[in-house]
Amino acid sequence: MTAINYRTADVDGWKIFYREAGPKDAPTLLLLHGFPSAGHMFRDLIPLLADRYHIIAPDLPGFGQSDMLARGQFAYTFDHIADVIDRFTEVIALKRFAIYVFDYGAPTGFRIAAKHPGRITAIISQNGNAYAEGLSDGWTPIRAYWEDASPKNREALRAFLKPETTVWQYTHGADAAKVSPDGYSLDNFYLSRPGADEVQLDLFGDYKSNVALYPAFQNYFRTHKPPFLAVWGKNDPFFVPAGAEAFKRDIPDATVRFFDTGHFALETHAAEIASAIRDFLH
């Protein structure tokens, strides 16, 4: 059995919760989760990699077991979330590391990589987008909010926060019988906390800042060409396969692997994705 330690770090007043496993002297892999999840989404992956890698999986600010400060104390933007996680890596003394980015973890990790290219040894993107063609029509209601941040458009996005929508995100395009209820049930627990809905609506609105940074992310890829692996649930209703293929435009040697599953690909294909990562990182 893999020993996983559950820790917290004080990051400039933030309590950031994280999972840690594997030998501390092994190559480090930082796992960055997405919406509306937390580090528990990596519960199946961590034991499959911890014999060979030092694994760190934090909960992003406002998610999971990390602090969710009041919106009056902290503006929930992706710039600010990336700043906190950047500082987190420094507080726990990570010098050089690979990143595994999923969904919201991608704009978080790509910001850190572009800021500190010398610290990044490799990137694994699992349904973590950086190209306009990777965004499906499922983003239409959120785009409407970007263009007009009216109360009406904000309220319309509450549909994304409903418990049944979380379940749908996990099961759409996947073999539902293979999807454990553990992940989406815990996500819905965290989403039901007082104030969590407004935090998430703020982040929906700020997601436009990520799209605005796509050219900067792509410039980083072109300039530094980090070793890159895309592992993609090909039936994802939000981030379509064209977004995975697009990485090869800027990193021609990138490896792109598709799996017959949905957005939360680790729920059904953790073993296959772990195998691809082990082959990629060596």
Query: DSSP 3-state assignment of 125?
Result: strand
Phi, psi of 57 (to 5 degrees): -135, 95
- How far apart (Å, rounded) are the C-alpha atoms in residues 157 and 155? 5
Place of tokens 């890829």: 221
Which residues are the active-site residues? 263
Q: Are 29 and 45 in contact (CB under 8 A)?
A: no
Give the angle subtended at the CA of 95 by the CAs of 92 and 97, to the nearest 5°.
100
- How far apart (Å, rounded) are the C-alpha atoms in residues 244 and 231? 8
Query: DSSP 3-state assignment of 257?
Result: strand
Q: Are 230 and 100 in contact (CB under 8 A)?
A: no
Q: Burial-class residue 69 by CB neighbours within 10 Å (0-12, 13-18, 19+).
A: middle
DSSP 186-225: HHHHHHTSTTHHHHHHHHHHHHHHHHHHHHHHHHHHHHH-
Q: Could you tell me the CA-to-CA distances from 131 to 49, 209, 221, 226, 237 in Å, in that order?
A: 28, 13, 12, 17, 15
- How far apart (Å, rounded) are the C-alpha atoms in residues 127 and 107? 12
Q: Are 138 and 237 in contact (CB under 8 A)?
A: yes
